[in-house]
Amino acid sequence: MSESTTSSSSRRVFLKSAGAALTAASYSRVMGANDKVHVAVVGLGGRGQAHMKALIEIPNATRIVALCDVNQAALERGQATVRKATNEDPKGYDDMRKLFEDKSVDAVSMPLPNHWHALATIWAVQAGKDVYIEKPASHNIFEGIQMTAAARKYKRMVQVGSQSRSIPHKMQAMKLLKDGVIGPVYMAKGLCFKRRKSIGHKADEPTPAGLNWDLFLGPAPMRPYNELRFRYNWHWFWDTGNGDIGNQGVHEFDIARWGLGDITLPKTVVSTGGKYVYTDDQETPNTQFATLDYGNGKQIEFEVRGLLTGGEGGLQRRGSNYVGDLFWGSDGWMSVDGAGFTVYKGETNEVAMEGKSQGGDTVPHMQNFIDACKSRDHTKLPADIEAGATSAAVCHLSNISYRLGRKLTFDPAKMKFVGDSEADKMLTREYRKPYVVPEKV
């Protein structure tokens, strides 16, 4: 299948009818080119702090007018941060639904736990807000489809936090691959060698004062409060997270797809691994390997290592981590990571080209989002929801294979597995009312 055919297939998969180019008249608060976009941040944990900082660094384009968190202490800290940096006093909300009713808010930036990404995005676009949603776009494949459909139906900008698509040296590396620097590219490998220590064991306990545990869990099943299911460690429980393949790993999966021509969904997937060495409460694997075969002479491999490890393919060590992507073509290979990229050519593995990081991460990606909010053109988003949902989907396919313990055959045109009803059930989840991702957006 050609790349142009694959791209068209992707649009049919994630969207039955594409939206036309958007106009300023469709914007909830019609803006001039020099007007500031009024932004609210929903979710004020560690990543929320980074979002606030990025928005504050582009003051000529944005104003933070509201903040929301289910944890009263986090909300108050966030308000204090914005107040100190801007001398403005953002409104505070504990329930995002109330914030979405605020007509002064043009756009929302939402660094939420994975299980909230879809419903929060759908609610926001239905309320006329543009959305910057953190990666992975969704918690399951059904959600990515619904998010894309909602973005187009309501003519909203929805950018996924796949910041690599706004980082200059990674953009340069992907263009070189497209231009044939190593010949036709047939395989990519994403590496998430990120050190993760054991989370241990903790007993359930009463919900801390000031925390709305029901709102934190939202679409996930109701469970007793446990500190390990809150803050960062929610990543390692299937109710709320997707393991490291859907945490750090989705960035590298996105780059792998990008370097193969924004290839979409595979025909087969097999993923193995386990939670090795540790005996603790974590549910997701700390060691995982996935192979995705596209049936068109292209393949993606992916590997997660959370335990102590060495590197691979010349990737730069950053702390205890080796994180990046490798690409192989007919004439050589390329390594890409946060420090830069290197092109190796020929039988002698000669270094033919190098590029170094010029900095940039969340701020330029957020700036691209703000620019699209003004232009009303979702094609200007480097990580539009359609691309983000596809990158999340390859993580989800890998996890489904891992959890079922077998190789799976997938039909991208039908968005179903071939002859496997058990796997099909894992394309979505049972939602806890009233936090239900709708069948019709």
Contact criterion met (CB below 8 Å) for 186 and 259: no
Same domain, 353 and 253: yes
Is residue 433 in some structural domain? Answer: no
Nearest to 19, CA basis, from 104, 166, 125, 95: 125
Q: Structural domain tally of the chain?
A: 2
Strand partners, 174: none
Cα separations (Å) of 391 from 95, 133, 342?
29, 14, 24
Segment 79-96 mean pLDDT = 97
| DSSP, residue by residue, 75-139 | HHHHHHHHHHHHS---EEESSHHHHHT-TT--EEEE---GGGHHHHHHHHHHTT-EEEEPSSS-S
pLDDT, tens digit (0-9, with 9 covering 90-100), for 149-202: 999 999 999 999 999 999 999 999 999 999 999 999 999 999 999 999 999 999
Same domain, 212 and 116: no
* DSSP assigned state of 299: E
381 vs 389: CA distance, rounded Å? 14
Is the preceding omega at residue 224 within 30 degrees of 0, hence cis? no
Q: Which amino acid is at 90?
A: P
Contacts of 209 (CB under 8 A, 6+ apart): none
Contact criterion met (CB below 8 Å) for 314 and 342: yes
Same domain, 33 and 47: yes
Segment 69-74 mean pLDDT = 98
Per DSSP, the three-state class of 39 is: strand
Lowest mean pLDDT across 1-10, 193-202, 254-263: 1-10
- What pLDDT does 393 receive? 98
Token duo for residue 96: 């995002």
- What pLDDT does 33 receive? 54
Same domain, 18 and 68: yes
Q: Residue 230: is its pLDDT beyond 60?
A: yes
Q: Residue 114: is its pLDDT beyond 70?
A: yes
Same domain, 78 and 117: yes
- What pLDDT does 21 receive? 32
Nearest to 282, CA basis, from 221, 239, 246, 252: 239
Residue with tokens 């049972």: 430
Q: How confident is the model at residue 7 (pLDDT cuts 50, 70, 90)?
A: very low
Is residue 185 in some structural domain? Answer: yes
* DSSP assigned state of 309: -
- What pLDDT does 214 receive? 98
pLDDT, tens digit (0-9, with 9 covering 90-100), for 22-45: 333 344 555 655 689 999 999 999
Strand partners, 268: 293, 409
Is residue 218 in some structural domain? Answer: yes
Q: Residue 92: is its pLDDT beyond 60?
A: yes
Strand partners, 91: 66
The domain of 325 spans 168-358+394-425
- What pLDDT does 30 receive? 59
Same domain, 331 and 379: no
- Helix, strand, coil fractions of the chain, as percent rounded to 5: 35, 20, 40
Per DSSP, the three-state class of 228 is: helix
Same domain, 183 and 329: yes
- What pLDDT does 34 receive? 64
Same domain, 293 and 410: yes
Is residue 400 in some structural domain? Answer: yes
**Residue 270: exposure state from Cβ atoms within 10 A (0-12, 13-18, ≥19):** middle
Token duo for residue 73: 């202490």
Contact criterion met (CB below 8 Å) for 106 and 38: yes
Q: Residue 15: is its pLDDT beyond 70?
A: no
Q: How many helices (H) and strands (E) does the chain have?
A: 12, 16
Provide the 10 A C-beta neighbour count for residue 84.
9
Same domain, 153 and 127: yes
Contact criterion met (CB below 8 Å) for 156 and 377: no
Nearest to 273, CA basis, from 296, 252, 304: 304
Helices 249-259 + 168-178 axis angle, to 10: 30
Q: How confident is the model at residue 9 (pLDDT cuts 50, 70, 90)?
A: very low
pLDDT, tens digit (0-9, with 9 covering 90-100), for 380-427: 999 999 999 999 999 999 999 999 999 999 999 999 999 999 999 999
Q: Which amino acid is at 54?
A: A
Nearest to 393, CA basis, from 420, 426, 436: 426
CATH code of the domain in which 212 resides: 3.30.360.10
Q: Where are the beta strands (DSSP E) in 243-296?
A: 268-274, 287-293
Is residue 13 in some structural domain? Answer: yes
- What pLDDT does 361 receive? 82
Q: Residue 212: is its pLDDT beyond 80?
A: yes
**Mean pLDDT over all residues of the chain?**
93
CATH code of the domain in which 97 resides: 3.40.50.720
Strand partners, 167: none
Q: How confident is the model at residue 60 (pLDDT cuts 50, 70, 90)?
A: confident
Contact criterion met (CB below 8 Å) for 287 and 307: yes
Same domain, 226 and 351: yes
Q: State which H helix or E strand residue 298 sits in.
A: none
* DSSP assigned state of 57: T
